[in-house]
């Protein structure tokens, strides 16, 4: 493909699973963003806020936490909400951090409902490798929109885009439509 040289940066967790949502494979086959160790220096969730929004797929920046598109989405619009601080466990968050993670999660749901009308969501944090966290050193809450049958969606964007374009456009769409709720 002509855009084979594009490289999508960002944060997320590879899991070795194949997705039915095939555009995603473009980035999947390219990306190995798994950190080498658990230090902040190797952590994509620490690195991404230093990139510009488009490059890092950052959708929304709060004071203490931010929302970012998952580079390896389970569904179109799969976001993660993370504190800026490199901390592993939910109990390590300050009240202010936990509040902002909650607020951004609500805003992400509201925004996704406005943009792509999902029928439901999976929300959650995997705590520890054993619980399925791919990047266990930096807390992140998944916000995964779900549709009945989980058919491919976001027709607004078009179905034949390669993933790098799709993720970039998804990011721009969600950032522009972001709904401020507390
Ligand atoms: Zn980190």
Asked if residue 33 lies in contact with residue 45, where contact means CB atoms within 8 angstroms, the answer is: no
Interval between CA 149 and ligand 1 midpoint (Å)? 34
Select the more confidently predicted residue: 18 or 47.
Answer: 47
Q: Any idea which residues carry the catalytic annotation? A: 140
Asked if pLDDT for residue 8 goes beyond 70, the answer is no
E runs forming strands in the chain: 58-61, 65-69, 79-83, 120-124, 141-146
Provide φ and ψ at 140, rounded to 5°. Answer: -155, 135
Rounded distance from Cα 81 to ligand 1 centre (Å):
12
Distance 40 CA to ligand 1 centre (A): 5
pLDDT-derived band of residue 19, with 50, 70 and 90 as boundaries?
very low
**Each residue of 60-103: pLDDT tens digit?**
999 999 999 998 887 889 999 999 999 999 999 999 999 999 99
Q: How far is CA 64 from CA 12, 82, 111, in A?
A: 19, 9, 20
Average pLDDT of the segment spanning 174-181: 92
Residue 5: predicted pLDDT: 46
Taking the whole predicted model, whether its pTM rises above 0.85 is answered as no
131-144 burial code (b ≥16 CB/10 A, e <16): eebebbbbbbbbbb
Q: Which of 73, 65, 162 is nearest to 116 (CA)?
A: 73
């Amino acid at each position: 493909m002509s855009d084979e040289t594009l490289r999508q940066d960002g944060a997320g967790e590879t899991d070795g699973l194949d997705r039915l949502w095939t555009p995603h494979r473009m980035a999947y086959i390219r990306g190995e963003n798994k950190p080498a160790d658990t230090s902040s220096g190797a952590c994509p969730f620490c690195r991404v806020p230093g990139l510009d929004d488009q490059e890092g797929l950052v959708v929304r920046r709060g004071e203490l936490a931010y929302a970012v598109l998952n580079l390896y989405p389970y569904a179109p619009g799969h976001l993660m909400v993370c504190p800026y601080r490199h901390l592993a466990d939910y109990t390590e968050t300050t009240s202010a951090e936990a509040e902002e993670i909650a607020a951004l999660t609500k805003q992400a749901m509201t925004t996704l409902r406005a943009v792509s009308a999902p029928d439901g969501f999976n929300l959650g944090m995997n705590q520890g490798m054993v619980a399925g966290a791919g990047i266990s050193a930096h807390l992140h809450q998944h916000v995964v929109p779900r549709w009945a049958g989980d058919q491919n969606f976001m027709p607004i964007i078009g179905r034949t885009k390669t993933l790098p374009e799709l993720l970039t456009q998804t990011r721009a769409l969600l950032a522009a439509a972001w709904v401020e709720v507390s």
